[in-house]
Amino acid sequence: MTGNIHSIQSLGAVDGPGVRYVVFMQGCPLRCVYCHNPDTWLTEGGTPTDVDELVRKALRFRPYWKNGGGVTVTGGEPLLQAEFVEEFFAKLHEHGVHTALDTSGVGNLSKAEKVLAHTDLVLCDLKFLTKADYLKNCRADFDQIERFLQLTAMKNVPLWIRHVVVPGLTDGMDHLRRVKAKAESYPNFEKLEFLPFHKLCMEKYERLGLEFPLKDTPAMNPDALKTMVEQL
């Protein structure tokens, strides 16, 4: 089976536990206003890659996974290529490799369920908390994301929630408390990560001839965010 791969980060340190081999899939149906990877949006493009070849490439880095590392598949939106991810994870499990799915929670639920059967950890980007905000800022259906999160709970797959904190958009203390409460409402929830909004993606937008929707929004100060999180 072949999948379209945008890029690979051989030694990732922020996409799950330990050192990770991070595979970025090509294609994403969302258009989040703060997206930092607009070059992954289109389903066309990427590098066609055979699943067995990808497994072989990943396993070369196995010596770095001794302290709880493994493989993370992200995007783009990996569930757009659910069949490929399912087979990739299944083959990694044959080698005893820890698998993590970094997703926005959109896609076909029945296909997602098959992926979760071979997933050791879900990292879900919970972007907003209401249908209106999801539609306005991501062009996405919040109900679909909630159904996916409920599915992870039903399958008892450990869940990490991530939330990007954007000044003037998602940085209110009451909002952060609601995100925390929402995350903790899932029985399989293990960890919540608040990520500071940054603008390192500006060059990508310019190169693609696109306007970054939040070009006038200041980056989130990491120290200020740390202080806010400590107050939750």
DSSP E strand boundaries for 99-232: 99-103, 121-125, 159-165, 189-196
CATH of 2-230, one of 3.40.50.1820, 3.20.20.70, 3.40.50.720, 3.40.50.1000: 3.20.20.70
Q: Which of 69, 135, 66, 71 is nearest to 106 (CA)?
A: 135
CA-to-CA separations, 22 to 32, 100, 159, in angstroms, rounded: 21, 9, 18
Phi-psi region of 151 (alpha: psi -120 to 50; beta: other; left: phi over 0): alpha
Record the pTM.
Answer: 0.96
Q: Both tokens of residue 21? A: 């081999």
Per-residue tens of pLDDT for the chain, all 232 residues:
999 999 999 999 999 999 999 999 999 999 999 999 999 999 988 999 999 999 999 999 999 998 899 999 999 999 999 999 999 999 999 999 999 999 999 989 999 999 999 999 999 999 999 999 999 999 999 999 999 999 999 999 999 999 999 999 999 999 999 999 999 999 999 999 999 999 999 999 999 999 999 999 999 999 999 999 999 9
Domain map of the chain by residue range? Answer: 2-230
DSSP secondary structure, 124-145, as one string:
EE---SSHHHHHHHHS--HHHH
Q: Do the Cβ atoms of 123 and 71 come closer than 8 Å? A: no
